[in-house]
Structure 1
Amino acid sequence: MSKYNYPLDFKFKIGTLSNDFEAKDALGNTLFYVREKILTWRDQMKVYSDSSKSELLYEMKSNRLIDFQQTFTITDAANNVIGKVRRKSIRSLWKSTFKLVNADDEHDYTIQEKNAFVKMWDGIFGEIPIIGMLSGYVFNPSYILSNNAGEALFELKKEPSFFGRKFKVEKLTSSDIEEERLVLSLALMVLVERDRG
């Protein structure tokens, strides 16, 4: 049985200094609230139960100052490691790829961009004055989370919006999987990739 009611919506706040978004299920219930700390040496995100930030659920911390082969460790409120997300390489003109690693440091899932050409055209049009502002309505990247057998488990897609602030998560399988860790990994990836599209 699924832990969440799908599809899930990730909606970023605008007009704040930090990079924040709220995750809600199909019924409009808040699942968690993610806040990226700014002005820190390493990327760090905190996941709270809601926007009041009164209950910390998870933390996601980077191991590097730069994004080449960056690894984020996801820990719960008791500081237990529940998984890691490794960026395969620096941002390029090809597909963004993230490897998910379990608490035993074993690679068990992968998140990969569905269509690399969307990223390429988004990068090109995004640099054109005035027209570039509309690229968020035209070029909307999507990502597939799959297991090592190649079975697609989730799809995350950016929805058309002026500020690139809305994302939707669809579950593609009825299999029994680690939903919480996988959804958190998608949330982390959204923060890393959000400035595109």
Structure 2
Amino acid sequence: MLNLTYPLTIKFKFGVINPQFSVVDGTGRTVAFVKQKAFKLREDISVFQDEAMTQVRYRIKADRWLDYNASYQFTDGEGRDLGRLVRKGARSFWKAAYELYDEGGKQDLLIQEDNGWVKVADSLFSEIPFVGLLAGYFFNPKYNITRPDGTKVAVFSKKPDLISRAFEMEKLAGFEEGEEVRIILGTMMMVLLERNRG
């Protein structure tokens, strides 16, 4: 997933049982496709080149079946370690927080929800008949992606939409080696986890 044109958009397929989404770059080119397997106790996600699902580019694998403080390992198609995503359980109850680590085990990025109240409002209003249909248009969480020194490198946010779910990533700074792949794989996994939480 190199030489990408931003913004990137994650588009979920509508009307399917298992979550499926494609990642499309700013030129409209599909750069990745994910289909989550049903009834897996431990997440093991294949990231394909495209919807044909013939070539696995990356894998994301959980280290445990309970997702409280779970770690999600990233590897390429040949099994080489690319880093991992760690969900910070206690902090995630209010505002979602995830740490990204490089292949050497050093934390190099943080993904943190901008405003916890958006998730609360979305959950409350989505349960009200008719009003709930509009919740997806007005309440859209945003996640800031920063380095430990506070440098904001990207913003990941849900796009206003009445029916389907789509997310967009804007690049705000140049990426260091390995960061781009970790950010994209990390936000893919995060969006699946947050989707399950509502």
Question: Is the pair's TM-score, using the shorter chain for normalization, greater than 0.5?
Answer: yes
Following superposition of structure 1 onto structure 2, how do residues 3-152 of structure 1 map, counting pairs within 5 Å? Answer: 3-89=3-89, 91-92=92-93, 94-152=94-152
Aligned mates of 1:116, 1:170 — CA distance in 2: 20
Runs of 4+ in structure 1 deviating by more than 2 angstroms, as ranges, are: 126-130, 174-178, 194-197
Aligned counterparts of 1:108 and 1:164: Cα–Cα separation in 2: 32
Q: Deviation string for 1:21-57 (max 9, x for gaps)? A: 0001111111111121111111221100000000001
Tell me the number of residue pairs that the alignment of Structure 1 and Structure 2 aligns: 195
Q: Secondary structure at the match of 2:129?
A: coil
Counterpart position of 1:161: 161
Contact 2:122/2:139, CA 8 A, preserved across alignment: yes
- Percent identity of paired positions between Structure 1 and Structure 2: 34
TM-score (norm 2): 0.91
| Secondary structure of residue in 2 paired with 1:23 | strand
> For the Cα contact (< 8 Å) 1:98–1:110, is it kept in 2?
yes
**Structure 1 SS opposite 2:121:** helix
Distance across 1 between alignment mates of 2:191 and 2:126: 18
Give the CA RMSD over aligned residues: 1.7
Quick check: 1:123–1:196 contact (8 Å CA) kept in 2?
Answer: no
SS at match of 2:79: coil
Is residue 185 of structure 2 the alignment partner of residue 184 of structure 1? yes
CA 1:164–1:62 in 2, change beyond 3 Å: closer, same or farther?
farther
Gaps spanning 5+ residues in structure 2: where? Answer: none
Tell me the distance in 2 between the aligned counterparts of 1:64 and 1:125. Answer: 33
